[in-house]
Amino acid sequence: MASVSPRVAEAVASVSRKDFVFSSDLTSTVSGRSIPREDIVRHILGMVPEIEPTQVVMHVGGGAGYLAAVLAHLANRVFYVEKNPVVAEAARERFFKLGITNVDVIDQSAQSGFELDEPCDVILVTTFLPDRMALLPYLREGGALLLIEGKGGPVPSLTMYRREEQALKRIRTLGWIDFNRNTEQILIDMGLVSEDSLAKAREEAIISNRRLLDVLRGKLKLEDDELYRSLAKQRNMPYAMADELLERLDPHLFGVFSRTFLDLSRLIPLWQDDHRITVATDDPDARADQLEHMTQGKAVHCLLVTPTDYRRLWSALDLTEKGNQFIADNTVSEPERHEMTSELLGAEDGKHISPYLVSVYESILLEAVSEKASDIHIEQYGERVRIRLRVDGDLHELNQYQLTPRELRGVINVIKLRAELNIAERRLPQGGRSRLKLADTSYDLRIQTQPSLHGEHAIIRLLPQTGRAMTIAELGMSAMIGEQYQRLLDNPAGLVLVVGPTGSGKSTTLYAGLQTLADDGRRKVISVEDPIEYSIDNVQQTRVRAEIGFNFADAMRAFVREDPDVIMVGEIRDKETAIEAMRASQTGHVVLSTLHCNDAVDALQRLYDLGVHPNSIASELLAVIAQRLAKRICVHCREPAEADPVILAELFPNGVPDNFRCFEGRGCPQCNDRGTHGRIGVVEFMLVDADIRNAISSQPPIGELRWRALDSGLVTMRDSALDHVISGEIPLSELPRILPRERMAPEQRGGRR
């Protein structure tokens, strides 16, 4: 960087670049040459001959006017030349506002032939000019022309000419000038971030080991398409979308380069021709020059894409290579090979994977994440392909994906490749896992493929891995039940069961307890699960490995020797696990687990059926939480509602209370006009006291056990559901869906023994 004189340093310090950066009238014209960085202005003025206070200077390519304003502090008079009249008028207003009176604004092209009332001592050109001789008439004899040259190269040079009679004599090249601004500077210039917020984001990026732009994207809350189009324009890079690129991908070219190098460089080779290689990046500051050294002299043409499109392109090429490798590595007969390659991911030519179908799968995943779906169902019925998302417990059709059966087979193979399943096996069910990372969140995808009458189906469960689960306070339980649950975790020993059918939120409730314990940090918590649904920091989580003979009971026997305070068992499925859970409780541990049964009292019968001695149950069981999930009313469109008289007649056979009220969601953009958004747990809570222990030991009929529990203060699911209805959290219409008919009316306590 060239050194500057005190006069130049003072002139640069006198003009605030912020006064010329970004306004609504310059949105589309902000660029590195329009508003050069402060260090570049110093660099330019350090290279050129000293500008005297008596001289007249012209600046061609004036842009926002920042450089012209600095020149105005060095010269007697400045001619500002800018061919864009909108930009020129904005600069004129800026000069007037700042009290800069020695700048004349000329809103014409430098080659259009305007007249000056006096010649210039120095002409500085910071744009690319086709014909430098057009400036000769404006330059006095012996005057200096300082011209940007080298448009074809990555960094232009500043060249000095001098007028000698009717000619321009080239004196020398003064040096290189890099007008490019990095992404940070561009975002500042566009008014999207401040220096302070940028510094905080930079610290966060270092701590979380993420890219700065990824951190800023989350904070700015801008649409990726809008942000990256703007960045591409500012960086003078072509902007592209994955849908435009997928048809031209060259998987062989992708396989030529090291994956590690490409990942670190944030570059994806797309295709090549005789003279250049086209690559995609989601990093506006990515350096492609290293790639040029590896391409035998070919130029590298870099396209900017959004991070989502970058991932789609990488996935398409990566899965193409995996699929082709699978075909190459598997020895099959020629007819089988032909069938496999012709159907593999819908590739018509049988030579490579169809990037289109990889993109379809990516789009389905993105749709599921944006809808906060828990599951994706991909199915075939005859010639009809059906794709549905389970959102808040209900299945919703995705009608925008009109796939043929052949294309469905391709999408199923994409799913199998991701989950490292055998794509040639279509007769047996297969299960596997894969990962999905979007912005700050990773998702664990549990994959199950199932042969059926018409073809294979695929079911995908999406489990966000944030390192945190809900806490007890965030579950939505009533304050009384939440406090009781918290108190159970503080016990020195005992068994706590969470029960309900599949998909009733049992794991979420258990994880909330684990998260609360993890946040507290005073107790060691160990879990054994199949599979590990959510990763929780500060909890030692272990997965069952049935294929090597490591099951729940084995884990329990090992855990008690590791000095834990709390043990979580994913599910009690058999007698061996149930007995080990009881033993762990007896040796001074709090044990949390789940059972598949309908209500709290049914859990006791389930333990009897597993062969656990009634006295063991009576002595170790602390409480049972039974639950269902109900749709939560959208808080943005909640309003009072008229109660359904049929449901009221079931709920209140002896008459509706005077203070009863209910609500519903009208439907709004926040809930996609469904009226509900998310789900909440409706729980039945049975705290095991002395009376219930005595009843458990005597093993009476299940009906009598329930009457004893009611007498001991069982909080029924009906009670919890009505509390949620009256408080406006769930609609009345949810009650018949979560409560069996015999539990809709109030249950009688005692008197039936």
Q: What is the 3-state secondary structure (H, E, C) of 94-145?
A: HHHHCCCCCEEEECCCCCCCCCCCCCEEEEEECCCCCCHHHHHHHEEEEEEE
Compute the half-sphere exposure of residue 732: CA atoms within 13 Å on the CB side of its CA. 19
The values of phi and psi at residue 572, to 5°, are: -90, 110
Beta strands, E only, 167-241 = 167-176
**8 Å CB contact between 573 and 556:** no
In the DSSP assignment, the letter for residue 383 is T
Q: Hunting for tokens 């310059």 — which residue is that?
A: 26
**DSSP string for 166-181:** TEEEEEEEEEE-----
Asked if domains 6-176 and 472-635+678-727 share a fold, the reply is yes
Going from the C-alpha of 373 to that of each of 369, 370, 439, 461, 714, the distances in angstroms are 6, 8, 17, 9, 33
Q: Are β-strands 430-438 and 276-281 bridged in parallel, bridged antiparallel, or unpaired?
A: unpaired
CATH class assigned to 224-326: alpha beta
Quick one: CATH architecture of 6-176? 3-Layer(aba) Sandwich (3.40)
What is the pLDDT at residue 752?
44
Q: How many other C-beta atoms can be found within 10 angstroms of the C-beta atom of residue 219?
A: 13
As given in the structure block, the two tokens for residue 3 are 């050194």
**Global confidence as pTM:** 0.57
What is the C-alpha separation between 99 and 594, in angstroms, rounded?
76
Three-state DSSP string of 146-169 = EEEECCCCCCCEEEEEEEECCEEE
Q: What are the distances in angstroms from CA 356 to CA 190, 197, 253, 319, 734?
A: 35, 40, 18, 12, 41
Determine phi and psi for 145, rounding to 5 degrees.
-110, 120
The maximal CA–CA distance of the chain, rounded, in angstroms, is 121
CB-based contact 513:525 (threshold 8 Å): no
CA angle at 146 for the pair 141 and 147, rounded to the nearest 5°? 125
What are φ and ψ of residue 309, in 5° steps?
-70, -35
What pLDDT is attached to residue 511?
A: 85
Give me 731's structure tokens.
């609609």
Number of H helices, E strands in the chain: 27, 25
Pairing of β 276-281 and β 299-304: parallel
Helix runs in 371-473, H state only: 405-418
- What does the alpha-carbon distance between residue 357 and residue 44 come to, in Å, rounded to a whole number? 52
CATH architecture for residues 355-465: 2-Layer Sandwich (3.30)
Q: Give dist(CA 653, CA 321) in Å, integer.
A: 66
Q: Find tokens 């068992």 and name the residue.
A: 569
Which residue, chain included where needed, has tokens 């004893």? 708
What CATH number should be reported for the domain whose range is 472-635+678-727? 3.40.50.300
Q: 389: exposed, middle or buried (C-beta count within 10 Å: 0-12, 13-18, 19+)?
A: buried
- Rounded to the nearest angstrom, the gap between the alpha carbon of residue 672 and the centroid of all alpha carbons in its chain is 20
Return the SS3 of 10. Answer: helix
β-bridge pairing 139-149 and 120-125: parallel
Residues 593 and 553: their CA atoms lie apart, in Å, by 13
How do 621-633 and 540-543 pair as beta strands? unpaired
Sketch the domain layout of the chain as residue ranges. Answer: 6-176, 182-222, 224-326, 355-465, 472-635+678-727
Contact, 159 vs 44, CB < 8 A?
no
Query: Are 572 and 581 spatial neighbours (Cβ–Cβ below 8 Å)?
Result: yes
Angle at 42 between CA 39 and CA 47, to 5 degrees: 130
For residues 648 and 722, the answer to whether their CB atoms sit within 8 Å is no
In this structure, what token pair is assigned to residue 260?
A: 């590690």
Give bridge partners of residue 432 from the DSSP assignment.
Answer: 447
Closest CA to 730 of 478, 370, 463: 478
For β-strands 167-176 and 268-272, DSSP reports them as unpaired
CB contact at 8 A, 75 and 44: no
CA 74 to chain CA mean position, Å: 51
Measured over the CA atoms of residue 354, residue 357, residue 358 and residue 363, the dihedral's sign is positive
Element containing residue 443 per DSSP (H, E): strand 441-451
**645: its two tokens:** 């008289």
By DSSP bridging, strand 157-164 and strand 167-176 are antiparallel
- pLDDT, tens only, 734-753: 999 888 888 888 886 654 43
Regions of the chain short of the pLDDT cut 70: 1-2, 22-33, 151-154, 221-222, 296-297, 319-355, 439-440, 466-469, 748-753
Contacts 24+ apart (CB under 8 A), 537-541: 537/467, 537/468, 539/514, 540/564
What is the length of the chain?
753
Tokens of 473: 């306070």
Beta bridge partners of 235: none
Cβ within 8 Å of residue 409, ≥6 positions away: 343, 346, 455, 456
What is the b/e burial string over 366-387, where b = at least 16 CB atoms within 10 angstroms of the residue's CB?
ebbbebebbbbbbbbeeeebbb
Residue with tokens 């891995």: 465
Cα within 13 Å of Cα(565), Cβ side? 15
